[in-house]
Structure 1
Amino acid sequence: MEKRKKTENRRKFLKVALGAFISGVLTSCNLKNLKNPKTMVKSPIGPNVLRPPGAVPENIFAQKCIRCGRCGEVCPYHCIKYFDIRDGGVFSGTPHVDVLEKPCYLCMKCVEVCPTGSLVPCKKEEVRMGVAVINRQICVTWQQNKTGLMCKTCFSVCPFSGIAIKIDHDFRPYIVEENCTGCGICAYSCIADTLPENNGKKAITIMPIKWKKIKEIKLEDIKKS
């Protein structure tokens, strides 16, 4: 009985603390420089913006993460950044990886230093940060009849080449979704954005799988983002 009361009191305290935090943020910040206040409690994770390896589900990540910064400090590639209040709302201070800025190279040092279990230790091949989706409409090789080019960059740079990314009989790349770690190295390295007709767009997007099953991720999701 006493243990139950302590748990209930703790939950009440967390609710009050969260409410006070949001209230303080909204009153102390210039709202003109912030997103819609309703998005302050919405996860900022989205296409190409992912949690580090081993992250627990997004609906509990912000509760477990204590914003200690150890994951970013230990990352030798400096790919782990932290959301500020404008981008993250109540998720501010939590780590993320913007794969188009700097992908994750799966060194796995971050999971070793996380003190709260927000990042769970796992093998490289077990990492599921997201899943790569190829836009065949702008992929250099999928559009080789127009581009006259044959590119294998994504296949060459993938840490699990031949497992997560394969090449079909016409030398076109495709993703084996269940084996993709979502590290983003392929998206970062994609050269499709160098073609003028693609207007700076990459042919590969890394979609988070926090609330989706891998099989449900479709190209339409990219077009809407």
Structure 2
Amino acid sequence: MKEKRTNRREFLKVTLGAFMAGTLFNSCDLSRLKNPKTMIKSPIGPNILRPPGAVSEEHFAQKCIRCGRCGEVCPYHCIKYFDVKEAGVFSGTPYVAVLEKPCYLCMKCVYVCPTGSLVPCAKEDVRMGVAVINREICVTWQQDKTGLMCKTCFSVCPFSGVAIKIDHDFRPYIVEEYCTGCGICAYSCIADTWPENHGKKAITIMPIKWKKIKEIKLSDIKKA
């Protein structure tokens, strides 16, 4: 009975989102709005990302029909859907909250999307976002203080040695052009267990849409 109520809520949420999107986007392309960032604010942000293969955010809400197939096919149940209160016209569209459950790049979602909102691509070509390491929080970058030399992010990365590498002092760093933004490293980061970090992870996955990868700085993470 509880499962039926949950399914009903999901259905109503997705249906309402589709109605709102259809009403607002039927004759409106976000790319043509005078200032889309202030008129219609996307809920995508640090650690809150679109699934693999997503088209640009300015077109996503227009293309996505809120069918829910991407979430249904995901074996890891990492795909969730925005509701009206938190996303407005983006309600019903899919997202991945990587700190709750990252994307494991099974790539099933891109092949069931009926509208091309999620475009089929190889795992190595996925660009959900880019990982940014806060060296002030990373226990390995702060090993003189923590006495720890953690390699968790390096070990769990699907493209270890390519997207994440280790320097001569065994400290991890991101090779931005190869990072898929899957969030597995951020999810697995143990920096939040170090008392002085007050529950903060050392890795944040930043949406690439915010700015060019090369311009992402530590200050951006602190503000998020």
CA distance in 1, matches of 2:153, 2:21: 45
CA distance in 1, matches of 2:50, 2:202: 21
Letter in 2 for 1:191: I
Cα-Cα RMSD: 2.0
CA distance in 1, matches of 2:21, 2:130: 34
Does the 8 A contact of 2:21 with 2:61 survive in 1? no
> Which residue does the alignment assign to 2:15?
none
CA distance in 1, matches of 2:209, 2:110: 18
> Which residue does the alignment assign to 1:7?
none
Shift of 1:16: 9.3
Unpaired runs of 5+ residues, structure 1, are 1-13, 20-37
2:85 is paired with a residue of what secondary structure?
helix
1:208 aligned to 2:207?
yes
> Which residue does the alignment assign to 1:17?
23
Shift of 1:41: 2.4
Mapping of residues 214-225 of structure 1, within 5 Å: 214-225=213-224
Letter in 1 for 2:135: R
> Which residue does the alignment assign to 1:166?
165
> Which residue does the alignment assign to 1:26?
none
Sequence identity (%): 86
CA distance in 2, matches of 1:196, 1:16: 48
Mapping of residues 127-138 of structure 1, within 5 Å: 127-138=126-137
Does the 8 A contact of 2:21 with 2:89 survive in 1? no
> Which residue does the alignment assign to 1:179?
178
1:206 is paired with a residue of what secondary structure?
strand
Shift of 1:143: 0.3
CA distance in 1, matches of 2:196, 2:94: 34
**TM-score normalized with structure 2 length:** 0.84
CA distance in 2, matches of 1:93, 1:189: 28
1:141 is paired with a residue of what secondary structure?
coil
Mapping of residues 42-53 of structure 1, within 5 Å: 42-53=41-52
Shift of 1:39: 7.3
**Runs of at least 4 residues of structure 1 off by over 3 A?**
none
> Which residue does the alignment assign to 1:112?
111
**TM-score normalized with structure 1 length:** 0.83
Does the 8 A contact of 1:39 with 1:89 survive in 2? no
Shift of 1:210: 1.8
Relative to 1, partners in 2 of residues 1:67 and 1:40: Cα closer, same or farther, differing over 3 Å? farther
- Encode CA deviations 1:102-149: one digit per residue, 9 max, x unaligned: 000000000000000000000000000000000000101000000000
CA distance in 1, matches of 2:38, 2:86: 9
Mapping of residues 71-90 of structure 1, within 5 Å: 71-90=70-89
1:210 is paired with a residue of what secondary structure?
helix
> Which residue does the alignment assign to 1:153?
152
Does the 8 A contact of 2:138 with 2:202 survive in 1? yes
CA distance in 2, matches of 1:205, 1:215: 15
CA distance in 1, matches of 2:39, 2:79: 21
2:209 is paired with a residue of what secondary structure?
coil
Relative to 1, partners in 2 of residues 1:40 and 1:105: Cα closer, same or farther, differing over 3 Å? farther
> Which residue does the alignment assign to 1:25?
none
Relative to 1, partners in 2 of residues 1:218 and 1:70: Cα closer, same or farther, differing over 3 Å? same
Shift of 1:40: 8.1
Does the 8 A contact of 1:40 with 1:88 survive in 2? no
Letter in 2 for 1:100: L
CA distance in 2, matches of 1:212, 1:56: 16
